[in-house]
Structure 1
Amino acid sequence: MKFRPVVASLATLATMTALAACAPPSDDDDNKDDGGSSAATATSAEDLGGMEALVEAAQEEGELNVIAVPPTWANYGEIISTFEKKYDIKVNSAQPDGDSQDEINAAVQLAGTDRAPDVFDLAQSVALANTEMFAEYRVDTWDTVPEEFKAGDGTWVNDYGGFMSIGYDASKVPAITSLDDLLEPEFKGKVALNGDPTEAGAAFSGVLMASVANGGSADDIAPGVEFFAALKKAGNFLPVDPTPATIASGQTPVVIDWDYLNAVESQNLDDWEVFVPEEAPVAGYYFQAINADAPHPAAARLWQEFLYSDEGQNLWLAGGARPVRAEAMAEAGTIDAELYDALPPVTGDPVIATNEQTEEMAAYLSENWAKAIG
């Protein structure tokens, strides 16, 4: 079965396979509406008196802290600059090359300070393990996000997604037509995985992709761990977290990562190719949430409103990612049709892990990944 555009298929398939603290209220009356609600406890813009009041409260705070969102990741650079210009709010971006667990660690270590993250962009496994840290909030476009892609209590909502892929420099390695190719001698010391699968969503899904390609499934990630153990034994696994710099220098000529991230490198390197295995089309979304201990609670909520607006969703689409509201926007005629139609086709039935499957796989990786890889 061929899906084009893929973003629509992800939302449709959700009906068959589900994807699956609080800062003290401010004493500043500028952060309260006539009813006395503070930004830190607002569960919607209406709680503060509407969007205009939310914007005013966020501008009074003047800053927003984000973490682990590289500018080249799903077009975050343009998303941040657009938000700053639109609302005259400074965005402080910490640890741009960090992973999902780094976000949680920073929130714990910096709790109660003005340097703590205001918002999170997390891998599924990390998000589900830390929901007690999230504030309840529903954006204005909440009803247009499929039920399968958001928490009923408003603590998290999926934001953008994609498919796992293998990016490679065709001038340095042979053409890749399957995951098994990576075990060949030509790939010695050349195959990198984006992160540690016990901490990073891209790496987690990369192991799931290897599992599906080798007879496993979202219910059995063991074959994926075994594949990477074999890759290491062959001397082909490169224990380096890939970045645009390592790719440009040739240090990581083969990268297992989300298709929208590998696609960015195709714009920078003439010989960079992107391959989504037909036998293992693993798809997934990231999770967006507000830190319940956010030092800038109004700005955090305005950021969410921006991300889930038509403008914000189209900015993710411009980065090659598949925004969670894409299907609703396509029906409403508010999506960037040119970008939407340009999404690459993917062959095969997408594998989307449920929340329960993700938790079980995360537990298995916690027990077995280090043993297999070291």
Structure 2
Amino acid sequence: MKLSARTRQLAATGAAAVLLLGGSVACAPPEKESGGAETQSGVKAAEATSAEDFGGIDGLVEAAKAEGELNVIALPPDWANYGAIIKAFSDKYGIKVNSAQPDASSQDEINAANQQKGKSTAPDVFDLGQSVALANTAMFAPYKVTTFDDIPAAFKDADGTWVNDYGGYMSIGFDSAKVPEVTSVDDLLKPEYRGSVALNGDPTQAGAAFSGVLMVALSQGGSVDDIAPGVEFFRKLADAGNFLPVDPTPATIESGQTPVVIDWNYTNAAETKKLPSWKVLVPPDHAVAGYYYQAINKDAPHPAAARLWQEFLYSDEGQNLFALGGVRPVRADNMAADGTLDEAATASVPVIDGPVTVPTPEQTEAATKYLAEHWAAAIG
């Protein structure tokens, strides 16, 4: 499962429908000439800020096809429907998609870009959690997709340096054939859940895990400004022998190794298709929501393909493919108004009536600092 995480502003009050380094190689890959081919406007592909620099979408498609490949990272096929998205993009444009480290964290994405800078294997694009994304904006190339004006201002950088792509709710997934029904966060401290409760990643590096600790903190009387009760709860879980220090994956879930998983609702929901006894709870009184951040690596080895990928993700086709993955696409409201949103797909996304907690960047930064100082000691 993807370890990256994102948190962005969503409806925080009222009725809210809020609708992720591969193996080593024997020799280093060749260095890439930076910048790519020149566009129709005379700027290099790596400096293009819109499709207009290529003379329009057709020109961008031509440039991307000439590159022939796209490198993505940390995109599990069962996360937000990325398997189908990658296939649809590749089939549509005839571009080979190289998917590295599907189970990597957001920080792993940045590390890979730094370690492989100038090489043909470097990531072309990023899909990141909020804290990691906002800490590394100097690595991103500003680009405005053709649907940029259709994306709410709260979910994008004004220059297109980053744009939110999809969001969801934090949840508890559990195998009802192996553990009792989970009705609340507090249930997880019961003896029946000994050696059963896994968190998707390290909350100091992975957005899903960070949001999981925040959800738990809210259930224990904490707040977005006080995540300490969440850390304390996990200390109790560890002391009771209930916390399972294993990063969950579809394989660990289906084998029964991780019968309880705290993760995004859409990732947990994907397991219900494979494991009929798998159920998903979004605690309605402690709802935590978040969006992920999409960005282009400014040193992308395939700069035109990277930009075409963004165009695809934010097109009606790409956004509906996200919806089919159980996430809320960022253009959902406008597409619904235009009649272009796949309503059958969004029907699988939970609707929470009531307050939804979404940390600001400043709150995320403060909470991440607290976790860095206290998490490791808490879980032993």
Give matches, 1:35-184, under 5 Å.
35-184=41-190
Structure 1 pair 204/12, CA: closer, same or farther in 2 (3 Å)? closer
Unaligned stretches of 5+ residues in structure 2: 1-8, 19-31
The answer to whether the aligner puts 1:24 opposite 2:4 as a matched pair is no
Structure 1 pair 241/153, CA: closer, same or farther in 2 (3 Å)? same
The answer to whether the aligner puts 1:193 opposite 2:206 as a matched pair is no
The answer to whether the aligner puts 1:327 opposite 2:362 as a matched pair is no
CA contact (8 A) 1:141 1:308 kept: yes
TM-score, normalised relative to structure 2:
0.91
CA contact (8 A) 1:15 1:148 kept: no
The structural deviation recorded for 1:177 is 0.9
CA contact (8 A) 1:205 1:282 kept: yes
The structural deviation recorded for 1:222 is 1.1
Structure 1 pair 323/294, CA: closer, same or farther in 2 (3 Å)? same
SS at match of 1:256: strand
Letter in 1 for 2:39: K
String of CA shifts for 1:137-190, please: whole Å, max 9, x gaps. Answer: 111111111111111221101110000000000111111111010001000000
CA contact (8 A) 1:38 1:48 kept: no
The structural deviation recorded for 1:37 is 1.3
SS at match of 1:135: coil
2:4 maps to none
The answer to whether the aligner puts 1:359 opposite 2:365 as a matched pair is yes
The structural deviation recorded for 1:303 is 0.2
Residue from 233, 256, 280 that aligns with 2:286: 280
Letter in 2 for 1:107: A
Give matches, 1:220-235, under 5 Å.
220-235=226-241
Q: How many angstroms apart in 2 are the aligned matches of 1:75 and 1:371?
A: 36
Q: How many angstroms apart in 1 are the aligned matches of 2:369 and 2:246?
A: 24
Q: How many angstroms apart in 1 are the aligned matches of 2:78 and 2:286?
A: 25
Q: How many angstroms apart in 1 are the aligned matches of 2:95 and 2:234?
A: 44
SS at match of 1:279: helix
CA RMSD of aligned residues (A): 1.9
The answer to whether the aligner puts 1:302 opposite 2:308 as a matched pair is yes
Q: How many angstroms apart in 2 are the aligned matches of 1:80 and 1:156?
A: 20
CA contact (8 A) 2:13 2:356 kept: no
CA contact (8 A) 1:11 1:324 kept: no
Q: How many angstroms apart in 2 are the aligned matches of 1:286 and 1:97?
A: 16
1:4 maps to none
SS at match of 1:364: helix
Structure 1 pair 15/359, CA: closer, same or farther in 2 (3 Å)? farther
CA contact (8 A) 1:23 1:292 kept: no
Residue from 231, 236, 241 that aligns with 2:242: 236
SS at match of 1:287: strand
Q: How many angstroms apart in 2 are the aligned matches of 1:23 and 1:357?
A: 40
Structure 1 pair 319/16, CA: closer, same or farther in 2 (3 Å)? closer
Letter in 2 for 1:56: E
The structural deviation recorded for 1:343 is 2.4
Q: How many angstroms apart in 2 are the aligned matches of 1:49 and 1:69?
A: 30
1:5 maps to none
String of CA shifts for 1:180-212, please: whole Å, max 9, x gaps. Answer: 100010000000000111111110100010111
Query: How many correspondences in the alignment?
Result: 358
Q: Percent identity of the aligned residues?
A: 65
Letter in 1 for 2:34: P
String of CA shifts for 1:321-367, please: whole Å, max 9, x gaps. Answer: 11111001000100001122342332431111111111111121122
Q: How many angstroms apart in 2 are the aligned matches of 1:159 and 1:210?
A: 25
The structural deviation recorded for 1:119 is 0.3
1:3 maps to none
SS at match of 1:267: coil
Structure 1 pair 16/301, CA: closer, same or farther in 2 (3 Å)? farther
CA contact (8 A) 1:62 1:90 kept: yes
TM-score, normalised relative to structure 1:
0.92
CA contact (8 A) 2:13 2:355 kept: no
The runs of 4+ residues in structure 1 deviating greater than 3 Å are 10-17
Q: How many angstroms apart in 2 are the aligned matches of 1:325 and 1:23?
A: 35
CA contact (8 A) 2:50 2:144 kept: yes
String of CA shifts for 1:299-321, please: whole Å, max 9, x gaps. Answer: 00000000000000000100101
Residue from 268, 272, 281 that aligns with 1:266: 272
String of CA shifts for 1:41-76, please: whole Å, max 9, x gaps. Answer: 001111221111111000000000000100000100
125-134 or 63-72: which moved more?
125-134
Residue from 206, 209, 227 that aligns with 1:203: 209
The structural deviation recorded for 1:368 is 1.6
Letter in 1 for 2:177: S
Letter in 2 for 1:209: M
